[in-house]
Amino acid sequence: MRPSSDLADFDATGADETVFGPELGEFPNADERRAQATGEGEMKTGTTTVGLRTEEGVVLATDMRASLGRMVSSKDVQKVEQIHPTGALTIAGSVSAAQNLIQTLKAETNLYEARRGKDMSMQALSTLTGNLLRSGAFFIVQPILGGVDDEGAHVYSIDAAGGMTEEEYTVTGSGSQFALGVLEQEYDEELSIEEAERVAARAIKSAVERDTASGNGINMCVVTADGVEVTKHKDIDELTA
């Protein structure tokens, strides 16, 4: 048992291990967790991602830049992925954790369909996503979940700790404040899919103009009852016209 004098300075990541440790509740991979928490040597998306709900479906859009510290490590990152027959997820934050989260969600939705003979609802999928983030296994990821089910179109904002809210429109990432200003001015619940794409593109463009961690084009994702379509556009202006 740890001496009582050590308890006040106890670090749950294992930073203050004593000769009596490790103890129950300490992490055996504390060094790796600390590095992940501080982002040392880790590729991040930086990112601006937006999600909009319409009567016809959901539009998700992201930029295409990944950064490694102050360096642009990639100019062609797909930051939105299909994870469900009529659902998709954007990623902001740690690339490795986000990729792992997407793979896990794809596997879980496939298992659900195989076991129950029907697709998972968006409410269930958002709850699953929040639970996975809350577990701590997918550190530093802030996704947007968008999808369509029997109850209609849904957009969920999910924070890095697993907190979830359903929204009409939402943003994540380092360029959020710039993109949100555009959405506040231009979003309308009666937007068509095509109009929502233009609004989303203008929101991303606004962020790209001012946020150095966002740029290099747009990933545009349209989710309807018919499925998920993801396209890449290097020329942002072609979407905003």
Residue 224 a catalytic site member: no
Task: Extract the tokens encoding 45.
Answer: 């998306």
* 195/189 Cα distance (integer angstroms): 11
**Residue tagged active-site, from 38, 45, 47, 90:** 47
Transcribe 193-227 into DSSP letters: HHHHHHHHHHHHHHHHHH-TT--S-EEEEEEETTE
* 83/104 Cα distance (integer angstroms): 9
Q: In which residue are the tokens 């990729």 written?
A: 99
* 144/180 Cα distance (integer angstroms): 14
Task: Extract the tokens encoding 13.
Answer: 């990541």
Q: Which phi and psi angles does 182 have, rounded to 5°?
A: -70, -45
> By C-alpha distance, which of 93, 61, 80 is closest to 203?
61
* 114/107 Cα distance (integer angstroms): 11
> By C-alpha distance, which of 58, 72, 98 is closest to 230?
58
- Positions marked active-site: 47
